[in-house]
Structure 1
């Protein structure tokens, strides 16, 4: 037991790997130290002279060395094919005269428990008994011999399956790599990477593109520049899906340098468009416009119209993100015309998606939904799941702002599921957008789970826009609603720090941030800074025509003036908030504005009218928590009015608010 390491020198138990013990006993029996014939007999003299290797690797190598040469050679050849191997290729690669000779040797190896038969029908297939046996047999081969055997294996596979090599691309890439056949390894590694990319096995695709690059470097990029351009562009696309935008941009730059130096205008345009997409995702909209201008102005006559349309689309996205909606629509209309002329429904779907986004920015929500839904309809016929997922995310977002929160939630569900199987970036975006809808509907527990998962997925360095948006939603639509002012401040400060790095790129986000910080200061009793923030927000909203955000800004200013007892100014801002709703402002604040006006109203008839409008508005469209607030305040005020029907309406409102509060409590605690 001490000899095998089962006990230490003091006789205490010592854990031993079962495989080590098994192989050590096999070595001892093979050397005649142990004999088993009904009972175990130990030749102690031989045991004393015997040196048992102290590692599993050493034990397996010792067993391998004791095999007959023909069996050992066959086992080594089999190790090159793989842990599981068939007799047919083994016979050819090992240059054994007949299959029967191979089967006989394999039967002997199975008796020694080096291999075992898996199936004999439709072909003889064997497996190395242990993964380490396979590893040791493989490593025992001289390097030069190993290379030759890998080359022979690859040649056999190419000949045997010459009519359908696609399922074997990764296997052939492996064998040609091990054979140091750089040209063939490069070819099959790229094919295998493309196969993995097409089924969204993105990590595997990157590994295979990286393998291809090692062989490209061995061959010389200069001699294989076209293949290098293909590799860099393909890998850049996959890296975008994985969210590694920095490395993706480097690949696109490398492709651009090679394509430009060889006057390959088509690949140059593809590289520019990829770089524009990456910079857009990073929020660098000025650079997007510079990159797309090069394609549109300098390359348009030498490239296919698909890439020209693609450049117009990214130019449109960039212009609209800078709130130049007219310029954005001009670019996207040109893209749509090109796509219609060339029957390119793929790009047309993307152009319609961007047009929908611009209409959304103008708060023309019905036109936005029409464009976005048509985009999704086209996309389902040909587009990738990840593109459909992004399109569905945008449709859901517009449905949400159009007051169709339940429809939005259902649409987001599909987008989230697509994100889980395709793209980390898509998943993060859909999760935090869906979280905002969940918070709106009062499902705060699930909303928090979404926010936390999205936070884990987002790289704040590479995805600043997404990080800003998520923290604004988290702070404003979740933490402020739950009156968790500390967390709200934390979220707003993260967004503020990132916005201040590129303030011109985030005008709408700046306005939202000011509103959120203004509410935070207001609710914590800091009225002067609250006023400054909200007035600044109004100024930015007017300058940038961010009409959607005017009602909440006027609402919080109205509340502020109520608290400092300036009722005239409060009434002015509350009425302004209602007026802004009719000018494409956010209608979610209508019941809040009405309840505050009702509380200020001194004429009972007018007060009741405000309260009735508030109740109707709250039930039609409002955040869950706001609905509770408005029903409670309306119910209390109506209950005090000397009219049986009106006071009954008040009691009904209070009961409904209490029921909603109980449901909310189950979501929070």
Structure 2
């Protein structure tokens, strides 16, 4: 659906050679952004050109290829729209395929505020049969319903049409207009065809007597059929063979697949008659394309012509067309697998159907065209042996899980499991177990996922394979999400050992990355950095750019945790550059989230809010996960807590809580609950604040997250300090400190101890500042100044401006006491 649009945008001339077309695209990309050139091969699928992968695109997984292509096209469109207004028209969207639909949604979300108009034409009844594009929820979407023509509108169309026939502007009788409109039921195409029918019959529309006696066709189908019947036999045959080719057809194919039509000049003469009858018309941009092209004026005309062919003859013509394509398009046959599958699909040639259904399914799966892949695989299943059926069902399981069709995936994989049992194929059995486990893991149903993993591992208990390692990695990921970090570490180490023995570099890299995440969650920062660097090295060996970016992100997380913000920024920027290079929007958002944490810690509150809101907008345009959206709202809440904006903090925390519940993740719950407590503290609701902070502490300890435990203890110390200060204000005997102060000292001392062990100098300094404030309330200035002497240099060295400001204010206030 999009090929002609992008060929026009990139100004590609099909008459040129593939090399020349490729060079033209490269020049266009260089003008837009030289960094985009590295992703040029991705355009091959969209433009139907055989573009070879390069170092950047070769290792991209199918999902990344799709998202990277979409982001590239979005960026190109936004650049063009910055130079001039754009109108993009898509017709017959009621037949839109899934890939084209996803691209339309992404483009539509990205053009808000730009001079771009999408004119999308569709028939609502047919649109309901597929998943329609989700664009009607956009604030700038407008639907214009094209109802049947009124008599006045029909009169205008009739007048214009008749002027084309006679070059005169004679008045048309009301009776004629009403009769034509009534018979056509206001359908403009039907009206147009009725007028063509009258013109073919040489009937004068002003001759009321002849019109009154005329028996007009009773349906659009019979009308077109009656018009086709007026053609000569060769013209009819030309029209019918063209209908087998498709709505748009290349003229050379007509005499190529059916030489009986005559010489090219004879066929072209017949086509000229079809043009005069307005049944098939030449493409308006024919001068720009390699071969002369025609198209049926209306899809109904093609359908009528096609349905008039006997079934056996249709089958023969489809096969002749497919054989012609195989013989003449040998060098570029991969570009035509969908058409070959379509045409052989209408024949009884089972061997060819099987071949091209499989090829088309695999090609669709490689492009992440999952709906098409599912359809082709299902059509291939009745035609294959049990050995091949097992392979297809494994592929189907992969695709169904990718599209979230988990129930269908499990049903299909259970059949695959039975086939693997029959064939005693242990590797296939383990793969089935892995995919079923993956389907449950993606739904957050961890117990059945772990059960299937155990089943897969039991199948391979005598041998260690790549499947064994991948099963263990899924188990490790589940354990990490549940906060069972020791189990996660054990699984990741075992997967690493197996993958290293098998020289499975990518699996080893993923194992190191999981180990880094677990070590970081347990605040073992040196170990986390070491694991992440090992992962980075392996991804560099395989030139996996996405993997390299992920590893650099993991390294930066550890440096953020220890307050080494400059090192963290360096790794984050390197990762961001890679994600931008490959068009990985999702991980660009993740990286910007981590950069936003540094901005927040430095006290740049407005910049932090802006960064997180921009990331949310990008997430909205690209379509992200519940988890990632929850993290962004959690970060915004944290920023608003630092801004002391209670209402906005609570607003984003509520959204975050709902999203985390839907995503069934727990590793952010301690931080989120702590932020709820800090919001309650700002509102001076000390009872609720203490309840929430103790829940945050419980979660942090349960999940084995010492850094978050240390941060929660600091907040508990603040709550106890404020509670003590309130008690002190109401106490007559001011010389006696309330017990909450001693409790606060204990909490803050424990916080500093834990954060020291973790190695996070910044968070230690924040706890020291809170304890300094407590000593100042007690008028113990020496202790307070001693703590300020420790924390203030840390804030200065890190550029933590807000914390530094608070420390200086406290020091200043004490100078007047």
TM-score for both structures, normalised by structure 2: 0.65
* 1:488 Cα offset (Å): 4.5
Counterpart check, 1:358 vs 2:518 = yes
For 2:613, the equivalent position in structure 1 comes to 448
CA change 1:91–1:470 in 2 (3 A) is same
For 1:290, the equivalent position in structure 2 comes to 451
* 1:313 Cα offset (Å): 2.7
For 2:211, the equivalent position in structure 1 comes to 47
CA change 1:614–1:427 in 2 (3 A) is closer
* 1:577 Cα offset (Å): 1.7
CA deviations on 1:7-44 (whole Å, 9 max, x unpaired) are 7779999997765555443322211124xxxxxx8444
Counterpart check, 1:636 vs 2:809 = yes
Counterpart check, 1:348 vs 2:511 = no
CA change 1:526–1:408 in 2 (3 A) is farther
Match for 1:157 among 325, 328, 331?
A: 325
For 1:590, the equivalent position in structure 2 comes to 764
Q: Distance in 2 between matches of 1:86 and 1:11?
A: 38
CA change 1:331–1:598 in 2 (3 A) is closer
For 2:468, the equivalent position in structure 1 comes to 308
Match for 1:93 among 254, 257, 268?
A: 257
3-state DSSP of counterpart to 1:525: coil
For 2:396, the equivalent position in structure 1 comes to 235
Counterpart check, 1:615 vs 2:792 = yes
For 1:375, the equivalent position in structure 2 comes to 535
* 1:73 Cα offset (Å): 1.3
For 1:141, the equivalent position in structure 2 comes to 309
For 1:664, the equivalent position in structure 2 comes to none
Counterpart check, 1:33 vs 2:203 = yes
CA change 1:134–1:122 in 2 (3 A) is same
Match for 2:343 among 175, 182, 193?
A: 175
**Mind listing any 5+ residue stretches in structure 1 that lack a counterpart?**
35-40, 648-669
CA deviations on 1:148-173 (whole Å, 9 max, x unpaired) are 32222222223333565322211112
3-state DSSP of counterpart to 1:5: helix
* 1:547 Cα offset (Å): 0.8
CA change 1:50–1:380 in 2 (3 A) is farther
Q: Distance in 1 between matches of 2:417 and 2:456?
A: 12
| 1:21-420 alignment, distance < 5 Å | 22-34=192-204, 42-53=206-217, 59-96=223-260, 98-100=262-264, 101-117=266-282, 124-132=291-299, 133-162=301-330, 164-179=332-347, 184-198=352-366, 201-202=367-368, 204-216=369-381, 218-219=382-383, 224-243=385-404, 245=406, 247-301=408-462, 305-379=465-539, 382=542, 394=554, 397-398=557-558, 400-403=560-563, 404=565, 406-407=569-570, 410=573, 413=576
3-state DSSP of counterpart to 2:758: coil
Please say if residues 322 and 344 of structure 2, whose CA atoms lie closer than 8 Å, have aligned partners that are also in contact: yes
Please say if residues 283 and 465 of structure 1, whose CA atoms lie closer than 8 Å, have aligned partners that are also in contact: no
Give the length in aligned residue pairs: 616
Counterpart check, 1:554 vs 2:713 = yes
Please say if residues 426 and 460 of structure 2, whose CA atoms lie closer than 8 Å, have aligned partners that are also in contact: yes
Please say if residues 365 and 373 of structure 2, whose CA atoms lie closer than 8 Å, have aligned partners that are also in contact: no
Please say if residues 468 and 498 of structure 1, whose CA atoms lie closer than 8 Å, have aligned partners that are also in contact: no
Q: Distance in 1 between matches of 2:659 and 2:261?
A: 73
* 1:333 Cα offset (Å): 3.3
Q: Distance in 2 between matches of 1:169 and 1:513?
A: 51
Q: Distance in 1 between matches of 2:660 and 2:331?
A: 59
CA change 1:59–1:320 in 2 (3 A) is same
Q: Distance in 1 between matches of 2:261 and 2:358?
A: 36
Match for 1:526 among 654, 664, 685?
A: 685
* 1:127 Cα offset (Å): 1.3
For 2:162, the equivalent position in structure 1 comes to none
TM-score for both structures, normalised by structure 1: 0.78
* 1:347 Cα offset (Å): 1.7
3-state DSSP of counterpart to 1:6: helix
Q: Distance in 2 between matches of 1:266 and 1:509?
A: 36
CA deviations on 1:41-85 (whole Å, 9 max, x unpaired) are 844433333345587655544432221121111111111112333
Please say if residues 612 and 632 of structure 2, whose CA atoms lie closer than 8 Å, have aligned partners that are also in contact: no
Please say if residues 773 and 784 of structure 2, whose CA atoms lie closer than 8 Å, have aligned partners that are also in contact: yes
For 1:656, the equivalent position in structure 2 comes to none
Q: Distance in 1 between matches of 2:254 and 2:275?
A: 16
* 1:582 Cα offset (Å): 0.9
For 2:102, the equivalent position in structure 1 comes to none
**Mind listing any 5+ residue stretches in structure 2 that lack a counterpart?**
1-149, 157-173, 725-739
CA deviations on 1:227-276 (whole Å, 9 max, x unpaired) are 33323322333444445555544444443233234322121111112233
For 1:545, the equivalent position in structure 2 comes to 704
Please say if residues 147 and 178 of structure 1, whose CA atoms lie closer than 8 Å, have aligned partners that are also in contact: yes
3-state DSSP of counterpart to 1:33: coil
CA change 1:305–1:78 in 2 (3 A) is same
3-state DSSP of counterpart to 2:757: coil
Q: Distance in 2 between matches of 1:389 and 1:238?
A: 26
* 1:355 Cα offset (Å): 2.1
Q: Distance in 2 between matches of 1:576 and 1:315?
A: 34
* 1:557 Cα offset (Å): 1.0
CA change 1:180–1:464 in 2 (3 A) is farther
CA change 1:409–1:491 in 2 (3 A) is farther
Please say if residues 432 and 451 of structure 1, whose CA atoms lie closer than 8 Å, have aligned partners that are also in contact: no
RMSD: 4.3
CA change 1:525–1:640 in 2 (3 A) is closer
CA change 1:421–1:25 in 2 (3 A) is farther
Counterpart check, 1:576 vs 2:750 = yes
Q: Distance in 2 between matches of 1:286 and 1:437?
A: 37
Q: Distance in 2 between matches of 1:58 and 1:366?
A: 79
Q: Distance in 1 between matches of 2:362 and 2:429?
A: 20
3-state DSSP of counterpart to 2:155: coil
* 1:525 Cα offset (Å): 2.9
Please say if residues 612 and 635 of structure 2, whose CA atoms lie closer than 8 Å, have aligned partners that are also in contact: no
| 1:6-17 alignment, distance < 5 Å | 6=155
CA deviations on 1:110-160 (whole Å, 9 max, x unpaired) are 444433456699975321152434344334434443333222222222333
Q: Distance in 1 between matches of 2:557 and 2:352?
A: 48
CA deviations on 1:541-567 (whole Å, 9 max, x unpaired) are 445532111221111111111111122
